[in-house]
Structure 1
């Protein structure tokens, strides 16, 4: 048996989130399941070989999105080839830049973005300045 861990992001508007992630992160939708009222209770998306899921928040099920509980207690760490371009694209599609993408003293190029649904993403990649010190 293979172990698999797929985070499921709860959002206030699942269809808007699918649109955001496909445009801003170039994610591919692998599955979208809605109930008879059209509420998306499960969608699976892929970023290259990485998968994540999302669903509409449903208060009576205890499924609360970050904005409904005052923020996200989780940082989603995404390593990409060009973190600057990824963060910029997220912001162009409605995310908020929380911490600019910069070379960090701990050896990574990272920044933080809050998506339109309240989830916090640490966007990182290789250092821009690779010269020996």
Structure 2
């Protein structure tokens, strides 16, 4: 019997975050659920971008998770889309920082690299 496999990254955020609208504004992400702490800050949330699920989770002091804002590049999320320029520009308008502008590469990809407001690195890409 064939099974379906999917990949759902968990992106860590610093404690005290209350606003995750970047993902909605930048990538058109849909929020499935959110669990807040007693003070209203985000504990965990689940989103999807065109059916690709990912999670946002606060960093616990007792874990050995990296703060992405302090360790940019520990993980890079690749986001494939038909319109690299549009998605890239939306992310920048929503608060991301350009690392590398959208470029066509000789290995057959159009891609641009950015860092979101929480320190996560993204490559917005399309196979040409």
Runs of at least 4 residues off by over 2 Å: 1-5, 12-16, 35-39, 56-65
Q: Is 1:49 the counterpart of 2:40 in the alignment?
A: no
CA positional deviation for 1:125: 1.3
User: How many residues in Structure 1 have an aligned counterpart in Structure 2?
Assistant: 125
CA positional deviation for 1:8: 1.0
- Relative to its length, the structure with more helix (as a share) is 1
- 1:14–1:55 contact (8 Å) kept in structure 2: no
- Which residue of the partner structure matches residue 94 of structure 1? 95
CA pair 64-80 structure 1, distance change in 2 beyond 3 A? same
- Which residue of the partner structure matches residue 33 of structure 1? 35
- TM-score of the two chains, using structure 2 as the length reference: 0.86
- TM-score of the two chains, using structure 1 as the length reference: 0.83
Match of 2:61 among 59, 62, 78: 59
- 2:18–2:40 contact (8 Å) kept in structure 1: no
